[in-house]
Amino acid sequence: MNIIVCDNYQELSVMAGDIMAAVVKENENCVLGLATGSTPVGAYQELIKKHQAGELDFAHVTTFNLDEYYPMAVDNAQSYHVFMQENLFKSINVPADKIHVPDGSVEDAQAQCEWYDEQIEKAGGIDLMLLGIGENGHIGFNEPGDSLECGTHIHKLTESTLQANARFFGEGEQMPTHAITMGVASIIRNSRKILMLVNGVKKYPILKALQEDVVTTQIPASLLRLHPDVTVICDKAAFYGEA
Ligand code: F6R
Q: What is the 3-state secondary structure (H, E, C) of the chain?
A: CEEEEECCHHHHHHHHHHHHHHHHHHCCCCEEEECCCCCCHHHHHHHHHHHHCCCCCCCCCEEEECEEEECCCCCCCCCHHHHHHHHCHHHCCCCHHHEECCCCCCCCHHHHHHHHHHHHHHCCCEEEEEECCCCCCCECCECCCCCCCCCCEEEECCHHHHHHHHHHCCCCCCCCCEEEECCHHHHHHHEEEEEEEECCHHHHHHHHHHCCCCCCCCCHHHHHHHCCCEEEEEEHHHHHCCC
User: From the centroid of its chain, how far is CA 70?
Assistant: 17
Q: Which residues contact 83 (CB under 8 A, 6 or more apart)?
A: 36
Sign of the dihedral through C-alpha 105, 106, 110, 112: negative
All residue ranges of the chain with pLDDT < 70 are none
Instruction: Please tell me the predicted confidence (pLDDT) of residue 161.
Output: 85
Report the pLDDT value the prediction gives residue 157, as an integer from 0 to 100.
Answer: 87
CA of 36 to the centre of ligand 1 (A): 6
Residue-wise pLDDT for 89-131, tens only, equals 999 999 999 999 999 999 999 999 999 999 999 999 999 999 9
| Closest approach atom of ligand 1 to CA 140 | 8
Per the residue annotation, which of 87, 136, 165, 190 is the catalytic one? 136
Among candidate residues 46, 67, 68, 103, the one labeled active-site is: 67
Whole-number Cα distances in Å, 129 to 36, 123, 202, 230: 12, 14, 23, 9
Residue in 100, 138, 163 to alter for ligand 1 test, most ligand atoms within 8 A of Cβ: 138
Hey, whose CA ends up nearest to atom 9 of ligand 1?
140
pLDDT at res. 184 = 93
**Within 13 A of 228's CA, how many CA atoms are on the CB side?**
3
> Which residues, in sequence order, are CB contacts of 144 under 8 Å at separation 6+?
136, 137, 138, 158, 217, 218, 219, 220
| Cβ(66) – ligand 1 distance below 6 Å | yes
Active site residue 136: yes
Question: pLDDT tens-digit profile of 150-159?
Answer: 999 998 888 8
Span from the CA of 233 to the centroid of ligand 1 (angstroms): 15
Rounded distance between C-alpha atoms, residue 62 and residue 137, angstroms: 27
Task: Find out whether the beta carbon of 103 lies less than 6 Å from any atom of ligand 1.
Answer: no
Closest C-alpha to 39, from 168, 200, 181: 200
Task: Report yes or no on whether pTM surpasses 0.85.
Answer: yes
